[in-house]
Amino acid sequence: MVLTNETCHEYPFHWDVVTRAFWNKYPNERLAHVERVDVLDRCLDSQGRLVTTRLAKVTQKNLPGWVRSALGDCTYVFEETTCDPQRKQLVLKSTNLSLRSVATVEETCVYSVHPDDAQKTLYEAEAKVTAFVPLLSQKLEKFSVSRGAETAAKGIRAVEEICNDIFQGTFQPAFCETVDAAKNSVAVNAAKDMANAAAKCAEKQ
């Protein structure tokens, strides 16, 4: 069984402002569950679109015990963003890399010029959750969809606040690490964590 959650929101700001806010969404106090976001690759495709792949470390807090036992305290999320400046459309696709044998979360978010008002931006998102845990699948799917809806609402508010700061001229860009500091990035830590997990599995066998 697959549960789907759809979100739609109108930002009262131009697409250029909203997409700028999108790229500066993290770090953010409202979204403290997103511990780190690292850029893995960024390039222009043959159509002149900016394609960016990122890896995020997400730490979930205040989880019920049964959810923590199934999903753990943190997970890694892979995302690919395609930004088309000509069509004025930004598409984000993300999926969890961790614990895919337990559950998968596939999400697609689209930021586009509002069809009825070019001064506004339309945000549309769809998340699909599929759980594979015997006896807990439906319960886990419902929880994931509910938590995802809460997270989406926080994300919308965070982007809107950044848009307001940009519009008022008070926006301060997000902090960027140096190459040396990035050596301890989530990408490196993810590789270490996965290697440790594989080693533990080998020991058990």
Q: How confident is the model at residue 179 (pLDDT cuts 50, 70, 90)?
A: very low
Whole-angstrom CA distances from 105 to 6, 84, 94, 149 are 13, 25, 8, 13
Q: In the chain, what percentage of residues exceed pLDDT 70?
A: 80
Count of C-beta atoms within a 10 Å radius of residue 14: 19
Tally of residues, the chain: 205
Q: Which domain holds residue 200?
A: 2-204
Lowest-confidence pick of 19-28, 91-100, 102-111, 126-135: 126-135
**75 with 102: CB under 8 angstroms?**
no
The enclosing domain of 116 has a CATH number of: 3.30.530.20
- Please determine, for residue 196, whether its predicted confidence score (pLDDT) is greater than 60: no
Q: 40-55 burial by CB neighbour count: b if 16+ within 10 A, else e?
A: eeeeeeeeebeebebb
**76 with 91: CB under 8 angstroms?**
no
Which pLDDT tens digit goes with each residue over 43-96? 999 999 999 999 999 887 777 776 677 667 788 999 999 999 999 999 999 999
Q: Using CA atoms, how far apart are residues 61 and 191, in angstroms rounded to an integer?
A: 23
Q: State the pLDDT at residue 30.
A: 87
Q: Is the pTM of this model over 0.85?
A: no
Average pLDDT of every residue of the chain: 85
Mean pLDDT of 139-143: 81
The count of domains in the chain is: 1
Identify the CA nearest to 83 among candidates 125, 28, 42.
42
- Please determine, for residue 188, whether its predicted confidence score (pLDDT) is greater than 60: no
Mean pLDDT of 86-115: 94
